[in-house]
Amino acid sequence: MKSPLLSLPGAVPAEGRDEGVAAHYGDLFREQRALADGTGLVDLSHRGVITVSGKDRLGWLHLLLTQHVSELPPGEATEALILSAHGHIEHALYLVDDGETVWAHVEPGTREALLAYLESMKFFYQVDIADRTDEFAVVFLPAGSIAEVPEGVVVRETPQGRDLFLPRAALESYAAANGPAIGVLAYEALRVEAHRPRLGFETDHRTIPHELGLIGAAVHLQKGCYRGQETVARVHNLGKPPRRLVFLHLDGSEVHLPGHGTPVRLAADGADGRQLGFVTTSARHHELGPIALALVKRNVPVDAELMAGSTAAAQEVVVEP
């Protein structure tokens, strides 16, 4: 779904999973600084929007999700995962309940499979699941923003800022009144800086929540059964995850950033060394320079100098080994 904000001056379309919105509007670092200062807005209208209404909605979702939501207060933001039977991450949902309906936004390209799964699990519960992507666009306002929220718009407020479920027909006029519009590259750079994982970037077909530091943030350890809970409990109580998320400071002299999937090795072993992990997301940050997130084997020493492809990389611990 192509955003109308792509018609703004300087807009450069994003590619890949973020296709449909702007990567930037001509000045990546200016846009990052604006976000960090609490100004502007990010067009996330390519994300899927799903609602669940009905009197059983919270109790029913509680049975399916990794998060404790059976008593979720209206207006309180949370995030949750859906896992496979083996505990691997399949879906990520960013939720808020308005007192009558649970609103969630999800990664582009995932809503069809998620809707199919939710529909298959309705059984006798009184819930109504709806795809609202054609009607509502997600807009992000950074923490500190003084932009007004139109009456009746559902808001999901977090320490990072506010996610607005804005009527799609109002997107262009709202951006004109509350801009400047900021591209997803700036949003992603600040996400990497904050070590926040993203489905499809920091995850693959075998990622478990412990590897990304999602226990607590998206996985509640004291709740009833859900699919994949056995793996979550076993790893938490008896073992360690096989991999861990790390933050990388990349050599700033390199022209190109290492892309998603770039092998990570010990610098001492050189280009022919054994692969110990891979880059998940890389970005150019307005203060830190080139940075990245990566998944590496748990036993990689925390003080080891690494190479991301041909780029030297110093690591910071995100998930303890």
Identify residue 108 by its one-letter amino acid code. P
pLDDT confidence of 204, banded at 50, 70, 90? very high
> DSSP secondary structure string, 21-40?
SEEESS-HHHHHHHHHTT-S
- pLDDT at residue 253 tops 90: no
Mean residue pLDDT of the chain comes to 97
Whole-number pLDDT of residue 309? 95
Whole-number pLDDT of residue 217? 96
Model confidence pLDDT, tens digit, residues 171-196: 999 999 999 999 999 999 999 999 99
Whole-number pLDDT of residue 254? 78
- pLDDT at residue 266 tops 90: yes
Model confidence pLDDT, tens digit, residues 80-114: 999 999 999 999 999 999 999 999 999 999 999 99
Tokens at 199, concatenated: 């489905």
Whole-number pLDDT of residue 1? 81
Cβ within 8 Å of residue 162, ≥6 positions away: 140, 141, 145, 149, 155, 156
For residue 93, give the nearest of 163, 21, 40, 151 by alpha carbon. Answer: 163
Taken in order of first residue, the domains within the chain and their CATH numbers are 4-47+135-194 (no CATH), 48-131 (3.30.70.1400), 242-320 (2.40.30.110)
For residue 93, give the nearest of 250, 226, 206 by alpha carbon. Answer: 226
Whole-number pLDDT of residue 318? 97
The helix/strand count (H/E) of the chain reads as 6, 18
pLDDT confidence of 252, banded at 50, 70, 90? confident
The answer, as to whether pTM is greater than 0.85, is: yes
pLDDT confidence of 286, banded at 50, 70, 90? very high
Model confidence pLDDT, tens digit, residues 62-75: 999 999 999 999 99
| Residues 104, 95 contacting (CB under 8 angstroms) | yes
Share of residues in the chain with pLDDT > 90 (%): 96
H or E, element range at 114? helix 111-120
Model confidence pLDDT, tens digit, residues 41-62: 999 999 999 999 999 999 999 9
